[in-house]
Amino acid sequence: MNLKILWPGKTKDGDFRRLQGFYLERIQQLANCKLMETKEARGIEEKFADRIKEIEAQALEKYLKDDYIICLSDEGSEMNSFDFARFLEKGGASSRPITFVVGGFLGLADRILKKADFLLSLSKMTFSHELSRVVFLEQLYRSLTILSGKPYAK
Amino acid sequence: MNLKILWPGKTKDGDFRRLQGFYLERIQQLANCKLMETKEARGIEEKFADRIKEIEAQALEKYLKDDYIICLSDEGSEMNSFDFARFLEKGGASSRPITFVVGGFLGLADRILKKADFLLSLSKMTFSHELSRVVFLEQLYRSLTILSGKPYAK
């Protein structure tokens, strides 16, 4: 299974960053998975949200190509962990790599969301973007353990 | 608003534990909130799940009394963050303190779930119990900032 994960900017909080590393390492033991922390918009006031999202969209787009694109979005569909594992298995059987895109502080530009083959929601609740990253990685790791039949650690 | 949070055993992972402290501190700036990490079952094999949950139920029960009890459960109802804030506001207006109960590694005993006035689900997906704690605290903090009109920090 070829997986790619994209999000703008490095995760800043040390605790979230360590948890991210913890889950990513375990994911990489079960699948070919690359995380790319793309260019984030800096020094622009939050009221210029569209400009921020546009700058980040340009950086994300360089990596999107013809992959099967799954964007995380509050507007997306929810799945339980077993259905997510099955969904991943089905996607992984195709020759197209799967790319997950997680938004930054202000979410993703519409332009990126429109490119998505699938919109995935982790919860009805809104999580901070750094928490979303860790929740997403934990789900990806959980799904891969479900598919591999290995025990879930931690 | 009088809030109490119960769960069996201290959060072991250092990163989750620090994030727990981070959110709890912010929650306590906005509401009267106590976290009690109750006795957890130790040294019992996982195959004796009912026994583990029973030991933990006994410790949790000591604190349950006549509060309005909300148990976190995969079987519960999902809400978005704004609805959760309104739900909290309504509950907080009553004289009964609100107690949230989050399960341990194996979840909560049926006996505890039956005592609940409300079952709340954070997501269709299954999170590890330590991740659930942090996600729950982040939602509680987010809801209190919504109710107070203060900006959400982090």
Q: How far apart are CA B61 and CA A121, in angstroms?
A: 35
Non-local (6+) Cβ contacts of A151 within 8 A are A145
- Degrees, nearest 5: CA angle B29-A128-A67: 175
- Residue B153 covered by a domain: no
For tokens 């006549």, the residue is B66
- Residue A132 covered by a domain: yes
A53-110: per-residue pLDDT in tens?
999 999 999 999 889 999 999 999 999 999 999 999 998 888 889 999 999 989 999 9
Q: What pLDDT is recorded for position A92?
A: 80
Q: How far apart are CA A143 and CA A51, in angstroms?
A: 35
- Residue B154 covered by a domain: no
Tokens of residue A90, six digits: 């089905």
Q: What pLDDT is recorded for position B91?
A: 87
- Residue A101 covered by a domain: yes
Q: What pLDDT is recorded for position A8?
A: 97
Do B142 and A126 make contact, defined as CB atoms within 8 angstroms? yes
Q: How far apart are CA A135 and CA A16, in angstroms?
A: 10
- Residue A103 covered by a domain: yes
- Residue A154 covered by a domain: no
- Residue B94 covered by a domain: yes
Contact B108, B6 (CB under 8 A): no
B69-92: per-residue pLDDT in tens?
999 999 999 999 999 999 999 988
B126 → closest Cβ in A125, A130, A142:
A142
- Four-CA torsion B17, B23, B29, B33, nearest 10 degrees: -70
Non-local (6+) Cβ contacts of A94 within 8 A are A68
Share of chain B above pLDDT 70, in %: 99
Residue A153 has pLDDT above 80, yes or no: no
B15 → closest Cβ in A15, A123, A128:
A15
Using an 8 Å CB-CB cutoff, list chain B residues near A80.
124-126
Confidence of residue A154 (pLDDT cuts 50, 70, 90): low
Amino acid at B59: A
Non-local (6+) Cβ contacts of B145 within 8 A are B30, B151, B152, B153
Mutation target to probe the B interface, by most B beta carbons within 10 A, among A22, A82, A122, A125 is: A125
B137 in contact with chain A, both atoms CB, cutoff 8 A: no
| Residue range B122-127: mean pLDDT, rounded | 97
- Residue A109 covered by a domain: yes
Our count of domains for chain A comes to 1
CATH code of the domain covering residue B107? 3.40.1280.10
Q: What is the CA radius of gyration of chain A?
A: 15
B101-120: per-residue pLDDT in tens?
999 989 999 999 999 999 99
A25 in contact with chain B, both atoms CB, cutoff 8 A: no
Q: How far apart are CA A79 and CA A103, in angstroms?
A: 19
Q: What is the CA radius of gyration of chain B?
A: 15
State which residues form the domain around A122.
2-148
Q: How far apart are CA B80 and CA B78, in angstroms?
A: 7
Q: What pLDDT is recorded for position A151?
A: 83
